[in-house]
Each structure stands twice: as C-alpha cells, then as structure tokens.
A and B are shown apart, each in its own frame.
Chain A
Amino acid sequence: MSLLEVRELHVWFDLQEGRELHAVQGVSFGLDAGERFGLVGESGCGKTTTILGLMGLLPPTASVAGEVLVGGESILAGGESSVRSHRWNDIAMIFQGAMNALNPVKKVLWQIVEPMELHGIADGTQARRMAGDLLEMVGIPASAGERYPHEFSGGMRQRAAIAMALACQPKILLADEPTTALDVMVQAQILELLVGLSNDLGLALVLVTHDLPVVAQVCERAAVMYAGEIVEEGPTEALYHAPRHPYTRLLFAATPDLYGDEAVVSIPGAPPRLDRAIEGCAFRPRCDSSLDRCESEHPEFRAMGAGHRAACHLNDLPGEERAAREGARRAGSAAPAATPGGGAP
C-alpha cells in the first residue's frame, strides 16, 4: 500500500455565467515512503491545483471529486474539519512563491511553534526548543528565530519555510516550485537541503516544477501533466531516455543542455483552454506525430512497462513504426500528405 494515493482527482473552477474550468481532469498517482516524485508541466497545466486539491485547500469556487488516501485513510471524505487534522501532521507544504509564506508580523520561531501546539506535538519551552533545532537543521542559527521574516534573506526565508513544514514530523512534503524566486546558487542549496532531508528523515517528497533538469537531479519518479491530465508517468530515467508520449519528448528537447550541442526546440502553439470540453487528445494540435484517430479518440492512460504509464495512441503502433512516426508531422508540414514513416530522419 502506498503512503499517499491520489485517485481520479478532478477539479472544476466556477467561472462567471455558469461556465466551468476543468483544471484537473482525473489525476492519479501514488507515492511510497521516502520517495521523491516530480510533477512537471507547462504553466497553467494544473500542478498547483492538484497539490492544493489533494489537501482540500482550494477556494470555495472549486469543486473537487476523487479520492486522496494517506496510509489507506481517505482524508477528503470527512469534509473540512476532518481534513484539518491531517494537514501539517501527515502532509506539509512549501508553496509556490514561498517568499511570502511567512507572516510578516510574527516572529519566525513563533510561526514554527504554532502548528506544534495546534496538533499537540509539543508546547511551551519544549516546542520552542524543537523549533530551534529545526532551524539549525535547515542551516539557520536557532537564535535567528527571534527575528521577523523581513530580516531574513530570500534563501533564509525559504529555509525557514522548510523548517516550519517539518514542525509536525510529516511523512509527506509537497513542494510547489520551492526555488522559483531564488537565484541559482541558493536554488541548488535548497534542493540539496530537500534531498538531504528526504534521505535523513524518510520524507516522501512531491516536487512540482517546470524545471526538468531539477526533476532529473532530485526525483526517482515523475509525472508529466498536460492540460489538467497526467500524460506520462514513470522513472525519471525512462521519461528522459525512452519517453512514450510526444509531449514528454518535446519537453525534454525544449530544455537547454549546457554541455550538449543540440539546438533547443520550443513546442509551437499553446495549451488548450480548459473551460470547454476537449475532444480527442488534448495535445494533438501541437503534436509532431499525431495520427488521424487522435482527433476524435481520447487516449487512455496505459502501462508501458514496469512503473511506466502513458496516454498516447502512438503506443498502439509496433515499435519501429512508432519510431518512424516520431516528428513526422513537423518534418512533413511542408508536404502534408507525408505517408506514415515518410518523415523519418
């Protein structure tokens, strides 16, 4: 049994005039203790919504369906008051733009102590000592806890946010783009800290980012999201070397490689709007190797091998035909009538 299991999570946002935006469309994934899992995808594909949805933290304009199991127990089923006891206790978070995750008018130590006292982990002097230890653990002198957030640098604030996330010894840490606002050196330090903590404390980590090299460096497994869905999931190695969805392949190709000499290709076009139903494969308009059936048939998410799943019709083709098909549409865009395999380089 996995530590965290997300089953068929859907999120709809109410828009004006009765319209709805289907931001998360049946996302499922699992997470074992101590595992580091990456969630990647372009801006707006629903990463943050998935993370907030599974903790029941979305605004009232959102409706959520699906199941979230922590250690086998469904945490969302009991409503707001019952999910509260799981928050920070089982699952803690570091937010996107965590620079402002600390309250500007409260001292840092107080903010770390707060969840301890709330969940009955510790209180008084003991809690303050534990909070001081946590600060030391993330590389901040305990005495700095008596200061206010604005007296910290960006990197220190992010470290303090991590210390705060560890206050109740959670089993799972959700980190939504924890390093976006930081400069490269500090970014590397924070990632190193997160990897170290997950190793030392056996903390399961979900790392949300659109930075693929970071995922490759930190996570054993990853899922690629597109237009509210997971389109491919598997070991990071497999996603990189043997992707089974054109989006994954193009996403990696779109990442600059410092030492490589290959030109960086961007993916033309933009993700579809999510406020209307999508027919067929959501990625088809931007896909470089789509088939006729992609237009009308929604591809199913299917196992490709050990722990590797993808949702693409190309996977129904035999191996060599699939390889030949790759990039066919892009290569053949000048001659739209290219026959299958004709676009092979």
Chain B
Amino acid sequence: MRGADYVIKRAGFAVLTIFVAITINFFLFRVLPGNAVADLSRVPRATPQLRHALEVEFGLDKPKWEQYLIYLKQLAHGNMGVSYATQQPVSTLLANDLKNTIPMVAVGTIAAILIGVLTGILSAWRRGSALDHLSTNLAIAFYAFPTQFLGLMLLILFASVLPTSGMMNPFVLGPESLWARLKDIGAHMILPALTVCLTLYGEFTLIMRSSMLETLGEDYVLTARAKGLPDRKIVSRHALRNALLPIATVVAISLGWIVGGAILVEFIFTWPGIGWAMWQAIYQRDYPMLQGGFLVLAVSVIVLNFIADLAYFRLDPRIKE
C-alpha cells in the first residue's frame, strides 16, 4: 500500500536525521575550547600527571573517532554520561527535567493551537467585522512580542496574584493531599504556560485565518453552498479540514521554537524543566549535561515533526500519491 510507503519513508528520514543530530552533537562539543580536565576552577592546581590520569579516566586520550564509537555505544545503552555538577547520571536528570517541561509546554502549545484555530476560523468567517479586526490586531501584536518580553510583562502584571517562580510551593511542610499538590502545580504552571501559549497563538491565528479565507473561495465551497448547506456545515464539513492542512505544517515548523522557547520561559519563571537545566549546565560548564540536553531537544523536534507528518497524512488523501 502506498500509505505504508509514506510512513516508512518518513520514519526512515526521521531516524537518519536523529543520527545526523547525534553526530553533530558529539563533534560540536569536541571542538569547544578546553575540556573537562583543563578547567582549572574544577581541578585547581592540578599537576600534569593528575590531569593526564583524569584524561585517561574520561577517555579523552583516545582518538576522536574512537571516542565517537564509544559515545554511540553508550548512547545505545541509554548512557549519556555523568553530570559534572551533581555526579548523577545525565539520563536520570534529563528524564526528570523532561517530566516537568512536557506538561507545561504541552498545555501552552495545545491551548495556542486551539485558540489560534478557533479565532482564525471565526475571523475568516466574519471577515471584515469588528471581531475580525480585534482578533487580527491582537494576533499580530502577540506574534511580534519577543517571548522574554511577554514573559516579563506577565510576571510583573500577575506577580501579586499568581506564583511566578518554581513548580510548587517549597514552604508547605508535612503530608499533603494529591489534589492540593496538583492544584499548587497547576497554579505555578499558569504563567509559564500562558507565555508559551501567547507567543505561539498569534502566528497560528494569522495562518488559520488566511488559509480559511483561501479555502472559502474554493469551488467546492461554492458547490457546498449551492447544495443548500448552512454556513456552519460548510465550514465544518468542507472548509475546515482543507484549511487545517497548512496549520499542520506551521505547527511542525514552530515545534523547534517550542523546544527552544522553553529555555527562555523556564528561565524567567524558574521552571525546573529541561530549559532551566540547560541554562544551569551552561553556567556551570557541565558538558555532559549540556550535550544530553541538546540531544534531547534535537530528538524531540525530529519526533514531533514526524508526528506532524503523520497528521498531514491523515488529513490529506492526496499525500498517498
């Protein structure tokens, strides 16, 4: 079947891209100046002998290609090294960080998609109305704001009513019900998730609106009207699915941003996720952690893109060609 061909081809492409990302990621960190051992703040007053011993311990005396093979082998076993800063396995640390990042970014992104698609449709449907003007101008404004600016504005505006830092209240002592804890996390999540949502939704609205307008001008929409369908059904049955096709692409493209943007948002709101961890890793020159973080980000962009490809495949029967 041609459909299966498409999925296999896309999956193959994703795997290849991941491999390239791993390779670049490895060599990128090897061309950085200095190495873990050379950092004098970490090993102050080290003798050349000690330094050499450390290099041997970390395998840094071996040729690069051998280091690369060892890296691949370790990675295949899920071993991403040990953090310089905390001496814990990078994979454990990153898994924990991802567990915090994913819900926050997912809530923000899904809200952005829903709001963007909905306001885009309404705008196109009621083109030229006051609602359309309001929605379009708002979208342009939010699209134009840099993430850090938006985040800081929200922080200033809501500092007195919502928690602005961390993921839960650190001062609660003693046992607490699960519900109370979830509520606390939810309250902490509002501002960072809202920042993600607002930065993204503007673009989604604008794309959805123009895609919807274009679709509403298609011959098959005129046919649908001529059939006697009411407006609502014309939009839901005929226009929507066709108009969503470009959105799938835009979402896929912005996924890269979503992951990168998480760094800014988590930094502003001290959200203990992968972005925050990477910022700290940079600060502490924690190379294994940074390398692991880069890898996770790269792989998640590739995987999310693959998912977007599959969504496109579901939406458009012509893809099977």
A92 within 8 A of B: yes
In the complex, chain B residues whose CB is within 8 Å of the CB of A118: 227-229
Secondary structure class of chain B's binding surface, majority of residues: helix
CB distance from B216 to the nearest CB of A (A): 10
A37 at the interface (CB under 8 A from B): no
Question: Is B318 in contact with A114, judged by CB distance below 8 angstroms?
Answer: no
Tell whether A252 is near chain B: CB-to-CB under 8 Å. Answer: no
User: Hey, which chain A residues are within 8 Å of B222, CB to CB?
Assistant: 57, 95, 101
- Interface contact A119-B228, CB-CB below 8 Å: yes
Could you tell me the distance in whole angstroms from the C-beta of B310 to the nearest C-beta in chain A?
A: 16
Is A240 among interface residues, defined by CB-CB distance under 8 A? no
Q: Are B228 and A84 in contact (CB under 8 A)?
A: yes
Stretch of A27-35, A102-110, A200-208 with 4 or more beta carbons under 8 angstroms from chain B = A102-110
Task: Give the distance in Å from the alpha carbon of A89 to the alpha carbon of B316 in the complex.
Answer: 30
The A-contacting residues of B in range 225-272, CB under 8 angstroms, are 225-230, 237-238, 241-242
| B226 in complex: contacting residue of A57, A85, A103, A106, CB < 8 Å | A57
Do B242 and A104 have beta carbons less than 8 Å apart? yes
Q: Do B219 and A101 touch across chains, with their CB atoms under 8 A apart?
A: yes
| In the complex, per-residue mask of A150-166: 1 if CB is within 8 Å of any chain B CB, else 0 | 10000000000100100
A139 at the interface (CB under 8 A from B): no
Q: How far is the CB of A59 from chain B (nearest CB, A)?
A: 9
Q: Are A150 and B227 within 8 A (Cβ)?
A: no
Contacts of B315 in A (CB 8 A): 105
CB distance from A196 to the nearest CB of B (A): 23
Residues 165-196 of chain B, each 1 if its beta carbon lies under 8 Å from chain A, else 0: 00000000000000000000000000000000
A228 interfacial contact with B, CB 8 Å:
no
Closest A residue by C-beta to B238: A103
The size of the chain B interface, using a CB distance under 8 A, is 21
Chain A residues, Cβ within 8 Å of B230: 81, 84
Interchain CB contact (< 8 A) of B318 among A81, A86, A150: A150
A115 at the interface (CB under 8 A from B): yes
Asked if A150 and B219 sit within 8 Å, CB to CB, the answer is: no
Candidate in A101, A105, A118, A119 with the most chain B CB atoms within 10 angstroms: A105
Q: How far is the CA of A335 from the CA of B119 in the complex (A)?
A: 67
Contact of A101 with B223 at beta-carbon distance under 8 Å, contacts A84-B228, A85-B228, A118-B229 already known = yes
A163: shortest Cβ distance to chain B, in Å?
13
Which residues in chain B, 304-321, are within 8 Å of chain A measured between CB atoms? 315-318, 321
Per the bound structure, the CA–CA distance linking A87 and B234 in Å amounts to 14
Q: Is B27 an interface residue (CB 8 A)?
A: no
Contact of A11 with B by CB under 8 A: no
Q: Kindly provide the distance from the CB of B282 to the nearest chain A CB, expressed in whole angstroms.
A: 46
Asked if A105 and B241 make an inter-chain contact with CB atoms under 8 angstroms apart, the answer reads: yes
Residues of B within 8 A of A148 (CB): 317-318
Could you tell me which residues of chain A, from 59 to 105, have a CB within 8 Å of some CB in chain B? 81, 84-89, 92-93, 95, 97-105
Q: Considering the chains assembled together, what is the distance between the CA atoms of A88 and B222 in angstroms?
A: 12
- CB–CB B228/A98 < 8 A: no
User: Which residues, 12 to 69 on A, are CB-close (under 8 Å) to B?
Assistant: 55, 57
Residue of B nearest to A56 (CB): B225
Chain A neighbourhood of B229, CB < 8 A: 84, 114, 118
Chain A, 118-172, CB within 8 A of any chain B CB: 118-119, 148, 150, 161, 164
Say how far B72's CB is from chain A's closest CB, in angstroms: 43
Q: How far is the CA of A93 from the CA of B223 in the complex (A)?
A: 8
Q: What's the Cα separation between A249 and B222 when bound, in Å?
A: 35
A contact residues around B241 at 8 Å (CB): 105
Nearest chain A residue, comparing its CB with the CB of B231: A80
Minimum Cβ distance to chain B for residue A113 (Å): 11
Contact, CB under 8 Å: B220 / A104: yes
Q: How far is the CB of A170 from chain B (nearest CB, A)?
A: 11
Q: Is A95 a contact partner of B223 (Cβ separation < 8 A)?
A: yes
Most central of A103, A106, A118 by chain B CB within 10 Å: A103
Q: How far, in angstroms, from A140 to B248 measured CA to CA in the complex?
A: 34
Return A247 CB to nearest CB of chain B, in Å.
30
In the complex, what residues of B have CB within 8 A of residue A81's CB? 230
Contact A150 B223 (CB under 8 A): no
Q: Which 5 A-B pairs have the closest CB atoms?
A: A87-B228, A100-B219, A103-B220, A115-B227, A84-B228
Task: Using A87-B225, A103-B242, A114-B229 as known contacts, list a sample of 14 further A-B pairs with CB atoms less than 8 Å apart, ordered by residue number in A.
Answer: A57-B222, A57-B225, A81-B230, A88-B226, A89-B228, A92-B226, A95-B219, A98-B219, A100-B218, A101-B220, A104-B242, A105-B241, A119-B228, A150-B321
